Every structure is written in structure tokens, then in C-alpha cells.
């Protein structure tokens, strides 16, 4: 009989989302607030605000249109963004509200942006070669500086505001000095032969240091406007910071009072230079001593993932912030350049995840990379572990939680130790004798005595561990496999050790699972084979209390097997695709399974029933692990998200279910109202559910303009406010602009301006409508001109055809056919049959190598509501489809004047 201690719950578990580690930075501009408490970084169409102390995203500013970011300028309370729609927007980032927007005047997008030291002047550098200065208090353009050649990719004010000087750089690699009193370019500082990346100034403002991708830094005397010294740094430099004066920096090689500066660039390390002698006095130590000489040589190559792209100085806290090409943000103490915090902006695909440390305080993650990441759950601060030279595929943790093992495509296994006091993780052992990628690994359960690995070479290896692995200063122990067994005919996808360390289970692509004896010191002894799955076996797991083995397969099923007669006891069906991971929880009374359908399911073994389906991911859930007490669970997915789940009480579970049921009932009610054509109630319900796409469908379903007008005027004020906000989004899409303009016509015709301006964000919404409406009007004007020219040519053809007896007959029906052909939409999508996903893919091939996901930062799924309306550009697309309707309703557009008519 099973006796449960008070450590464990006496009733089944049910999990709810506790926290998430999501991508918050996918490349682009990074800045730090003046109080040095927040980091601002771009992620797709968002500007995320990261709180440094907690590592949490506390605010997220989102555009209401599918625009790309041209630049970000940030002050402590002020955020200004520039978009490809040639709009500048000023935000109250704490409330995520746009307080003002205005035209950038640039003819092409803004490429760079910066505030002056008082945060009252804003400079924008455009791709058109011009620089605009804006008074953000009085809200007008103060300067228009022309003369730069090409894209102005760098603008920076002199820190002494009394000098009224601005520095800029463009494609000619010169540094222009602008006198803002005369609006003239005073001089061009020529020294660099490649793009100038950053400028930094001395405390007295008399000296400036510039860095460039031409592998040099130049020290400038701003009084004489001449170069004092050119320092070759032998790497493409992305950032430079001058060391403050009158501070002791002896720990980083500063022995004199001469000018010193720090560089960050393609080599991925911080270096300190003495300006007077052009000598490097200190080079930062790389994060790992396990790097081979080959990998160190590769650091100088372009595109190295560890190269630094930004260097930011935090003077108040005496820290430096760097950004790597892997989208990691690192904070260093300036006095000794030691790592203080690391934040991972983007994880790529999560291939495995495990709890780690005392009290499950950390998680270790494999993320389609040769580096491992260890997150502290309290602060989201991350350690990056270097050692493997190819993608890490699988992880497992020993019972005490301070030791864990990893395996990778580089055919090696490694054992890592985390210090319980400092939390520092280091590699303590490694072994490599497999002939192919190692796709699975498992640790001994009783004590840290051995590990077992399964490989694509179809073998299983048992590796003995020394007893003093956790001792400090012992170096990296070289492991040798004391047992090697050809276990399967195809790739070994999973291995698991029984709770008493006497049995081993293996699952393979050959559709079988096998049970092995680990008792002897010799070869593994085969005890039996589990047959019954129709596709490859992805995972195997022993029950913690019963003589039972669980397996999951690409055939979408999970099976329980008897260890005594190898018969199938139960089969669980519910996933729509491959079941990738399986674990026992609640002392063996429940099962957790995760699949390539993005779902995690909780099963009760006794009733063979799925009691809960957890939907927090949009792609394959490769990582699944429960804490020692089973009260916490962590999942990792190919959608780059890591989710921590906590057990919830029955009351919390009932409340959550009630909310879900209420949402379902409202959706059903909305469907019924639409079917019954009760548009007023349907419109109000869709607005209350915040579903812009459904609201748009209701508006499109109105039979006439009069009925639409009657319905809209009956809405409440708050519903009209939401409708106005939706119109801003719809107006950015050429397909939906007519519906947006029809709604606007009703609102602007029947509501007085005083009432409209009382709506929340009304001024901002109207300002956002103007540029797109003007663009639609210009397109309609061009369409009218083209249609009149076509009509003119048709009339001339008719005149030319008169008198030719058979010409009218030849044209007859043919003309009609030609006209009807023009009404067809050339851009209508062609339905294609989706290819069936190949589930017979080895575990060693589960990592995606696509780089487009990181660079574009776009998800392949949308939420179907607000976002679905923002996916398409507002450029001239699908014009043919809407030409007729646009011509007929051009006179209904209320925001801009009607287009000009063109004489034939």
C-alpha cells in the first residue's frame, strides 16, 4: 500500500501559468533610461521596457499599425519612436499611450535619433541625408540641416548644451560638426574609412573619441578640430566609452592618469586602451576557458554570435551594458569588468528544459544553440555556458539538483556543477566516443554515479562518474564509456534509468522500446522488447512507484507497459500529433504529456482520462519537467517561450474554468446574434470582447449605409471610443479602408468635434488616420486618371472601328468577356493542400536551423483578432480587387479632400 507523506499533495495536481520567459529583444536599438533602472529594446512592432532589478518586462509600447521601427529616442519619462509611415510618435511609456504624433518631414524613414542632455531637443537623421531638430516642449521643428551624403546613421549632441553643437555621420564616413546657432556645418572630421559607429566625450568636453568598423579609434581635439591620435584596435568596433577621471581603475590595467577608453566589437570582449600610447592595457577574459583554439580563431570572423553590437555607459551605478549578436544584454561592473547580470533577449527554439538548484531556484535550457542557458527564476538573470561546439539536444538533472548532464550534436556528453552559494555553473566532466550526434541522456537516480547516453549511431553508452566531481579546482574530468551496446536498428531517441538504478529503458526510431539490466559491471543485458507503437518512440519514462514503463510516440499515443510480461496496460489518445515528452507526477497517479501540437495534457492513470489541457505554446513542446515535489512544472517550446506552471487549488481551478466557460458562452451568443442579423447587439458584444476582426465582419454584414448609420449611432460612448480605435487599424489596410471610412463618416457627420475630442486618445487616433487616408486618396486619384485614359482609348477604338462591317460583330461578346475578366482578383489565393508533417524525424534533427526567425522576429501564427488586421502593409496591394468600390465611394472619404479630376 502506498503511504503518502505530508510533503506531497493527497489529491491530483492541476497546473496554471505562473510566469513566462519570452523573447523581448530581437535586434535593433537598445537604450537605458536616465535613472538606469530600465532598458528599452525593440522586439518586432513593440518597444519593451525591461526592469533591470527584476529582469521582467514591466511595460510594452505597441504601434497600432504594421509599421517598422526606424529609431527610438528615450528619456526617463519620454519615449519617441519613428516609423516607416514617416510619423514621429511621443509616448507615455508607463501607460503605453501615445500622447502626440506628427509628421517627420523626412521624405524617407528615419535612421537615427537622439535627445540632448536636457531632453528638450530631439535630433532625427533620415535616409534622405537630412537632419531635423525638434523642440519637443513647444512642438515644432527648429532646424533642417542639409549636406550629408546618404543615410545619416549617427546623430549625437555635444554634452555641453551651451555649445549648441551636433555631430553626425553618414555614408561618406566623415563626422560632421553642426553649429546650431547658424545651422551650418562647421567642419567635417575625416579619419575613418568605414562606418562611424559611436562617439564619446571627455568630462570637460574638449576631447572626443570616435570608433568605426575600419578597426580604428580616433582621439579628437575639439578646440583645434584635429585628430590627436589614431589607435588601431584590430577589430570592427561598435561602441566606445571613455573611462571617468579621478577613479581607481588599476584592476583593469589603468596605471596612469592619461586618457583611457573601452572598446566593444567583433571579438566579443571588452578591451581597455591607453590613448597616448595606443596600447591595449587590459583584455576581458572570455566567459569560458573550455574554448578550443579553433573557436578562438573563429571569433575574428564576421557574424560571430558573441560579437558585441552596442556598448552603453551607466555612469550613476558605474556599470557598462553590452549587447551581443545573439541578442543577449550583459551588465558589467566598470571597476573590474566582471559580469553582474545577463539577460537573454531571444532563445530561438527551446529543445529541452530542466529545474536546477536548491528549491528549484533555476532552470537550465537548451535552445537550438551550442550554448546552454541557466536562468535564475527570481530575477530572470542568465548564465551562458560555453563548452559544446554544436547544438545541445538533451538535458537531465541528478537527484540533488546541483549536477546535471547535457549531450549534443558534437557527439559529446558533459557534466556540469552549480555552486549552491554563488549559483555559478562550470563544466566538471566531458566525454566523446559516439560516432554520431547524441540525442538523449539520463542520469542515475540514487546517487551521482553514472550517466547513460543514446545516439544516432544506434548505440547506448554507460559512463562512470568519479566521486569528487563537485570538488572545486579539479579541472574537467575526461570520461570514458565502460559499456557500449548496439541497442536499436535506428536512432535512439530517449533513455531513462529506473528509480533504483538497476534498469534502463531505451526508445528508438525503429518503433520499439527496450528494457535493459544495469546490475552487472559488464555489458547491458536485454530483458525484453515493447512492441505496439506504429511510429518512432520519442520518450520513455519509469513510474516512480509501480513496475510500469510509459512510452510516447510519433503515432500520437502514450502507452503504459508492464515490466514483468512487457504487455501494454493502457493507451492514452488525445494529442493530434507526435507526443514528444512524458513524465509521471502526483506520485505516479498522473501523467503529463507534451506534443508537437503545442499542447500539454494532464492525465489521470486510474480513469484513463485527460483532466486538463494546458495551451500556452504555439509550436512543438520539446521541454517538459516537474519539480521534486511536483508542485511546479516547466515547459519549453519551439516558439521560443519558456513557461513555468504552478499547482492551483480547487477553488482557483473552478474560477479559471468559470471564466473559460463564460468566454465560450459569449462566443456562442455572438455567433447566434450574427446568424439572426441582430447587428446592434452583435456589435456591442464583439466590442466588449475586444475582437476587432469580428467587429469588422459585423460592419461588412450591414446591408446598407443607412442601416450601418442607424446601428452605430445607438452605441454607447465607450463603444464608439473602441470603434474609433479599430478604425485606425482598419484604415492601414487597403482592403478594409472603405469600411473604416464609412464608420468615420458616420462619426464625423453626427458627432460634434467637442464630443469627439473628449474620447480617450481621439486626437492621436485622428492624427494616425490622416497619412493613410491621404495615401488612399492619392491612389484613388491615380486610379481615376488611369480609368479616364482607358475610357479615352476605348472611345478612340470605337471611332476607328466604325465603317468596318465586321468589327462590331468581332468585338460583340468579346468586349464583355474582357471587361468581366478585369473584375477578377489576380491576387486571389490558390488553395494548396498542406503537406503532412513527417513524424519519422530523429530526435537529433529536432532543432531548426532557420535564421529568418531571429532576424525577422515574426511568428507564423496570429491571434486572429487585432493582430490579423495589422499583418498586411498599407502599400498599394490588391488594388484591382477594390477599384470599383473605391471609385464609387471616393466621395464618402471624410478626412481628406476629394481627389482632383483629370481632363481627358
> pTM above 0.75?
no
Q: 71 lies in a domain?
A: no
The last residue of one of the domains, among 779, 796, 817, is: 779
User: How many whole angstroms separate alpha carbon 624 and alpha carbon 583?
Assistant: 8
Question: Which residue range is the domain that position 531 belongs to?
Answer: 350-469+481-651
User: How many whole angstroms separate alpha carbon 308 and alpha carbon 163?
Assistant: 32
Q: 485 lies in a domain?
A: yes
Task: Give per-residue pLDDT as tens, 770-817.
Answer: 888 888 888 888 888 888 888 888 888 877 766 554 444 433 444 444
Q: 842 lies in a domain?
A: no
94: helix, strand or coil: coil
Same domain, 631 and 487: yes
Q: 175 lies in a domain?
A: no
Closest by CA to 699, choosing from 688, 689, 718, 684, is 684
Same domain, 528 and 637: yes
Same domain, 686 and 605: no
Same domain, 684 and 582: no
Q: At what angle do helices 692-701 and 650-675 cross, to 10 degrees?
A: 20
Q: 25 lies in a domain?
A: no
Same domain, 733 and 771: yes
Task: Give per-residue pLDDT as tens, 573-607.
Answer: 999 899 999 999 988 899 999 999 999 999 999 88
Same domain, 713 and 609: no
User: How many whole angstroms separate alpha carbon 116 and alpha carbon 668?
Assistant: 55
Task: Give per-residue pLDDT as tens, 274-283.
Answer: 999 999 999 9
How many domains, in total, are found in the chain? Answer: 2
Alpha helices in 802-874 (DSSP H): 807-822, 852-856
849: helix, strand or coil: coil
User: How many whole angstroms separate alpha carbon 346 and alpha carbon 27?
Assistant: 9
User: How many whole angstroms separate alpha carbon 413 and alpha carbon 411?
Assistant: 7
pLDDT at 820: 39
Same domain, 635 and 702: no
Same domain, 633 and 690: no
Q: 432 lies in a domain?
A: yes
Task: Give per-residue pLDDT as tens, 614-664.
Answer: 888 889 999 999 988 878 899 999 999 999 988 865 555 566 667 767 777
Same domain, 418 and 488: yes
Which set of grid coordinates corresponds to residue 272? 581597455
pLDDT at 522: 59
pLDDT at 520: 67
Q: 525 lies in a domain?
A: yes
Closest by CA to 94, choosing from 15, 40, 174, 43, is 40
Same domain, 769 and 625: no
The last residue of one of the domains, among 746, 779, 812, is: 779
Same domain, 683 and 602: no
SS (H, E, C) 208-269: EEEEECCCEEEEEECCCCEEEEEEECCCCEEEEEECCCCCCCHHHCCCCCCCEEEEEECCCC
pLDDT at 94: 80
pLDDT at 428: 92
pLDDT at 224: 93
Task: Give per-residue pLDDT as tens, 77-101.
Answer: 678 888 877 888 888 888 777 888 8
The last residue of one of the domains, among 615, 633, 651, is: 651
Task: Please check whether residue 349 is in contact with residue 847, taking contact to mean a CB–CB distance below 8 angstroms.
Answer: yes
Q: 549 lies in a domain?
A: yes
pLDDT, mean over the chain: 81
The CATH number of whichever domain residue 546 belongs to comes to 2.130.10.10
Same domain, 683 and 596: no
- List, run by run, the mean pLDDT of 10-residue segments along the chain (904 residues): 38 75 88 87 85 87 52 66 83 80 86 88 92 89 91 93 93 94 94 94 93 95 93 94 90 91 94 93 72 41 74 92 92 91 90 92 92 90 91 93 93 93 90 94 92 95 86 79 92 95 95 90 84 95 94 95 94 93 92 93 90 88 89 91 81 64 75 76 80 81 76 83 84 84 87 81 76 84 87 83 49 40 40 43 59 40 40 41 44 39 32
pLDDT at 862: 38
Amino acid at each position: 500500500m502506498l503511504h503518502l507523506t505530508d510533503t506531497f499533495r493527497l489529491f491530483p495536481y492541476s497546473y496554471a501559468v505562473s510566469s513566462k520567459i519570452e523573447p523581448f529583444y530581437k535586434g535593433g536599438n537598445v537604450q537605458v533610461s536616465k535613472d538606469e533602472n530600465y532598458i528599452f529594446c525593440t522586439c518586432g512592432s513593440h518597444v519593451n521596457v525591461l526592469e533591470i532589478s527584476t529582469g521582467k518586462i514591466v511595460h510594452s509600447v505597441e504601434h497600432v499599425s504594421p509599421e517598422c521601427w526606424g529609431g527610438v529616442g528615450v528619456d526617463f519619462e519620454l519615449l519617441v519612436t519613428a516609423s516607416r509611415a514617416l510619423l514621429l510618435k511621443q509616448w507615455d511609456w508607463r501607460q503605453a499611450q501615445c500622447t502626440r504624433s506628427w509628421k517627420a518631414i523626412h521624405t524617407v524613414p528615419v535612421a537615427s535619433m537622439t535627445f540632448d542632455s536636457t531632453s528638450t531637443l530631439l535630433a532625427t537623421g533620415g535616409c534622405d541625408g537630412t537632419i531635423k531638430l525638434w523642440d519637443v516642449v513647444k512642438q515644432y521643428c527648429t532646424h533642417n540641416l542639409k549636406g550629408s551624403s546618404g543615410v545619416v546613421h549617427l546623430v549625437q549632441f555635444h554634452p555641453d548644451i551651451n555649445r549648441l553643437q551636433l555631430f553626425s555621420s553618414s555614408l561618406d564616413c566623415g563626422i560632421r560638426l553642426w553649429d546650431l546657432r547658424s545651422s551650418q556645418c562647421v567642419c567635417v572630421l575625416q579619419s575613418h574609412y568605414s562606418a562611424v559607429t559611436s562617439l564619446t566625450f571627455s568630462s570637460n568636453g574638449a576631447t572626443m573619441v570616435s570608433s568605426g568598423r575600419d578597426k580604428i579609434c580616433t582621439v579628437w581635439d575639439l578646440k583645434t578640430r584635429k585628430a590627436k591620435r589614431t589607435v588601431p584596435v584590430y577589430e570592427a568596433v561598435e561602441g566606445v566609452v571613455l573611462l571617468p577621471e579621478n577613479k581607481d581603475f588599476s584592476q583593469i590595467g589603468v596605471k596612469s592618469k592619461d586618457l583611457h577608453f573601452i572598446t566593444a566589437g567583433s571579438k566579443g570582449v571588452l578591451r581597455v586602451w591607453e590613448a597616448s600610447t595606443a596600447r591595449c592595457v587590459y583584455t576581458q577574459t572570455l566567459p569560458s576557458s573550455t574554448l578550443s583554439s579553433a573557436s578562438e580563431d573563429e571569433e575574428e570572423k564576421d557574424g560571430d554570435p558573441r560579437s558585441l553590437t552596442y556598448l552603453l555607459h551607466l555612469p550613476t551605478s558605474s556599470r557598462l551594458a553590452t549587447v551581443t549578436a545573439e541578442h543577449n544584454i550583459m551588465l558589467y561592473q566598470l571597476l573590474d569588468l566582471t559580469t553582474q547580470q545577463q539577460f537573454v533577449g531571444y532563445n530561438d527554439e527551446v529543445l529541452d528544459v530542466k529545474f536546477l538548484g536548491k528549491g528549484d531556484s533555476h532552470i537550465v535550457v537548451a535552445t537550438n544553440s551550442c550554448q546552454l542557458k541557466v536562468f535564475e527564476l527570481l530575477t530572470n538573470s542568465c548564465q551562458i555556458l560555453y563548452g559544446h561546439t554544436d547544438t545541445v539536444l538533451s538535458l537531465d538533472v541528478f537527484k540533488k539538483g546541483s549536477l546535471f548532464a547535457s549531450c549534443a550534436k558534437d557527439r559529446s556528453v558533459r557534466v556540469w556543477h552549480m555552486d549552491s552559494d554563488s549559483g555559478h555553473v562550470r563544466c566538471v566532466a566531458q566525454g566523446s566516443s559516439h560516432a554520431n550526434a547524441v540525442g538523449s541522456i539520463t542520469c542515475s537516480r540514487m546517487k551521482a554515479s553514472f550517466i547513460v547516453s543514446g545516439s544516432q549511431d544506434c548505440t547506448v553508452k554507460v559512463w562512470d562518474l568519479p566521486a569528487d566531481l563537485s570538488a572545486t579546482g579539479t579541472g574537467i574530468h575526461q570520461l570514458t564509456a565502460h559499456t557500449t551496446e548496439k541497442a536499436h536498428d535506428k536512432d535512439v531517441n530517449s533513455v531513462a534509468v529506473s528509480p533504483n538504478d538497476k534498469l534502463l529503458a531505451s526508445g528508438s526510431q525503429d518503433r520499439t522500446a527496450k528494457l535493459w539490466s544495469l546490475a552487472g559491471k559488464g555489458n547491458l543485458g536485454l530483458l525484453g522488447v515493447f512492441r505496439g507503437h506504429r511510429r518512432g518512440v520519442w520518450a520513455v519514462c519509469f513510474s516512480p512507484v509501480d513496475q510500469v514503463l510509459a512510452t510516447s510516440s510519433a503515432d500520437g499515443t502514450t502507452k503504459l507497459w508492464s515490466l514483468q510480461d512487457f504487455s501494454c496496460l493502457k493507451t492514452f489518445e488525445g494529442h493530434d500529433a507526435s507526443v514528444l515528452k512524458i513524465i509521471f507526477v502526483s506520485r505516479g497517479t498522473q501523467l503529463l504529456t507534451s506534443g508537437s501540437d503545442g499542447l500539454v495534457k494532464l492525465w489521470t492513470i486510474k480513469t484513463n482520462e485527460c483532466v486538463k489541457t494546458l495551451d500556452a505554446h504555439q509550436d512543438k513542446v520539446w521541454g517538459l519537467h516537474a519539480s521534486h515535489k511536483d508542485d511546479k512544472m516547466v515547459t519549453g517550446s519551439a516558439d521560443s517561450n519558456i513557461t513555468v506552471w504552478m499547482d492551483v487549488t480547487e477553488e482557483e481551478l473552478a474560477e479559471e474554468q468559470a471564466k473559460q466557460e463564460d468566454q465560450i458562452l459569449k462566443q456562442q451568443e455572438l455567433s447566434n446574434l450574427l446568424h439572426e442579423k441582430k447587428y446592434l447587439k452583435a456589435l456591442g458584444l464583439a466590442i466588449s470582447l475586444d475582437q476587432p476582426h469580428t467587429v469588422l465582419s459585423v460592419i461588412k454584414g450591414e446591408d446598407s449605409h443607412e442601416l450601418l448609420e442607424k446601428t452605430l449611432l445607438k452605441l454607447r460612448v465607450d463603444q464608439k471610443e473602441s470603434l474609433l480605435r479599430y478604425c485606425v487599424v482598419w484604415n492601414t489596410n487597403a482592403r478594409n479602408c472603405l469600411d473604416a471610412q464609412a464608420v468615420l463618416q458616420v462619426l464625423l457627420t453626427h458627432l460634434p468635434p467637442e464630443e469627439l475630442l473628449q474620447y480617450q486618445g481621439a486626437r492621436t487616433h485622428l492624427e494616425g488616420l490622416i497619412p493613410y487616408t491621404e495615401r488612399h486618396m492619392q491612389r484613388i486619384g491615380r486610379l481615376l486618371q488611369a480609368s479616364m485614359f482607358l475610357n479615352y482609348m476605348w472611345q478612340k477604338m470605337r471611332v476607328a472601328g466604325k465603317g468596318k462591317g465586321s468589327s462590331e460583330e468581332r468585338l460583340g461578346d468579346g468586349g464583355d468577356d474582357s471587361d468581366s475578366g478585369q473584375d477578377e482578383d489576380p491576387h486571389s489565393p490558390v488553395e494548396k493542400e498542406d503537406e503532412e508533417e513527417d513524424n519519422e524525424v530523429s530526435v537529433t534533427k529536432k532543432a531548426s536551423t532557420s535564421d529568418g526567425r531571429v532576424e525577422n522576429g515574426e511568428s507564423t501564427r496570429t491571434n486572429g483578432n487585432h493582430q490579423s488586421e495589422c499583418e498586411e502593409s498599407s502599400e498599394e496591394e490588391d488594388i484591382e480587387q477594390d477599384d470599383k468600390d473605391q471609385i464609387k465611394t471616393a466621395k464618402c472619404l471624410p478626412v481628406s479632400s476629394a481627389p482632383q479630376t483629370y481632363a481627358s
